Structure 1
């Protein structure tokens, strides 16, 4: 075999090895990303407009499984509280145990611990509270005060102020924290920065990393699998060109 032939054979072998490595790594990332996502996240379908415009009726969301102790002000959570109904519900946490919540102040804003909260997730021009407002309410320890982003159309804590727990739910009722709207594809929820002045706010979960792993794996699998046919095609063209040159 000529030196050029041996060089070409060596390149084909190297290309074949790299192609196999790419496919193997792609499978690891693709399947690992799916498994990681399945362990951390659960999809939910939202059956009402009580969280509009953040989450609309019929949207599918991805929520990270968390313990109730991890919940922070501003989080959008999935919870199940029997006194609220038989199905899981989605609301925003605006107060935690010991907080005082009221609405509205002179500027028409929700206040928590006496501080006005910027709420850019509310629909433009809408009220921060339903008619009648929220009288100064202290959230019992170990519990959460929850509101929908569509304040005029949400059966939330503000509608249950007369009960013994001031409309709050126990932290243990929380099953997950919503990170993104998956369908339609509106992406990650905006961080609840309006609550940062009164305490820590949650950071997004690793959903972006999960998606990067899955997409990178898919690209490597497709690229590695395509190497053989593509290399064969160009090899035949080179051989045909060489034959014509003779």
Structure 2
């Protein structure tokens, strides 16, 4: 009889712990999604001008930021009337006061005379732009290029506009951190080519932490929910063994 009471006590403790695991898992899972909804906005990339980094139709997660937080190398979502007043996705290569030119002796983009390595380009071995250009970015503005330099309609095509094709920092709505779909896209790392320039690159958003919280919540939910059936099967097996031994 004592053994039976011990087994019942363990069963009740196991059930309580599994229920707690499910409850905590739900909090983490739903909390992670709520956190992500506050910090990030989902976008669908409209064109292939940012291939191969992100392609047309990709679903991306972009951190809601103020334009003053933007650094060189960031991929941003912006909206500007002269660009059609629709959400556009481009990479920031120059900020206020920069002189952007192409191409240097190595065929690379230069920022204030410093060549920048851009391994994310579709043709990283070729010149950083099929056409040469020079632009000086006004204060409070951003110079934007696509990663697919052969066909991207970006600041290069608007050099005759006021500001030489740049857009105001205030036009930025968000900064890309990850590709949600297709799943092979994953997290978008900050480019090292701009890290040595004044101001460096931007800090990474909390997308990895949010994904970790959601994954931990899912594991606790499934683990807690699976405890009951597993424990009952194990208990039935143990009782059957005891009965057989007694017989």
Normalising by the smaller structure, the TM-score range is: over 0.9
Distance 1:59 1:72 in 2: 23
Q: Which moved more, 1:48-57 or 1:26-35?
A: 48-57
Q: Is residue 164 from structure 1 mapped to residue 162 from structure 2 by the alignment?
A: yes
- Tell me the SS of whatever aligns to 1:153: coil
* Deviation of the 1:127 alpha carbon: 2.7
Aligned to 1:146: 144
Distance 1:20 1:159 in 2: 60
- Tell me the SS of whatever aligns to 1:58: coil
TM-score when normalising by structure 2? 0.96
Distance 1:209 1:197 in 2: 26
1:12-23 aligned within 5 A: 12-23=11-22
Q: Gaps (5+ residues) in structure 1?
A: none
Asked if the contact 2:47/2:57 (under 8 Å) is kept, the reply is yes
Distance 1:191 1:173 in 2: 21
Count of aligned positions: 243
Distance 1:204 1:182 in 2: 16
TM-score when normalising by structure 1? 0.96
Distance 2:126 2:91 in 1: 16
- Tell me the SS of whatever aligns to 1:37: helix
What is the CA deviation profile of residues 136-173 of structure 1, one whole-angstrom value per residue up to 9, with x for unaligned ones?
Answer: x2100001000000111111111101111110000000
Aligned to 1:39: 38
Asked if the contact 2:107/2:126 (under 8 Å) is kept, the reply is no
Q: Is residue 28 from structure 1 mapped to residue 27 from structure 2 by the alignment?
A: yes
Asked if the contact 1:160/1:166 (under 8 Å) is kept, the reply is yes
Aligned to 2:100: 101
Distance 2:242 2:189 in 1: 59
Q: Gaps (5+ residues) in structure 2?
A: none
Aligned to 2:90: 91
- Tell me the SS of whatever aligns to 2:50: coil
Aligned to 2:244: 244
Distance 1:49 1:14 in 2: 56
> Root-mean-square deviation (CA), in Å?
1.0
1:72-91 aligned within 5 A: 72-91=71-90
Asked if the contact 1:127/1:151 (under 8 Å) is kept, the reply is no
1:54-203 aligned within 5 A: 54-124=53-123, 125-131=125-131, 133-135=132-134, 137-185=135-183, 186-199=185-198, 200-203=200-203
What is the CA deviation profile of residues 62-90 of structure 1, one whole-angstrom value per residue up to 9, with x for unaligned ones?
Answer: 11110101000000000000110131000
Distance 1:159 1:76 in 2: 18
What is the CA deviation profile of residues 31-80 of structure 1, one whole-angstrom value per residue up to 9, with x for unaligned ones?
Answer: 00000011111111112110111111111111111010100000000000
TM superposition outliers: structure 1 runs of 4+ over 3 Å: none
- Tell me the SS of whatever aligns to 2:150: helix
Distance 1:140 1:150 in 2: 25
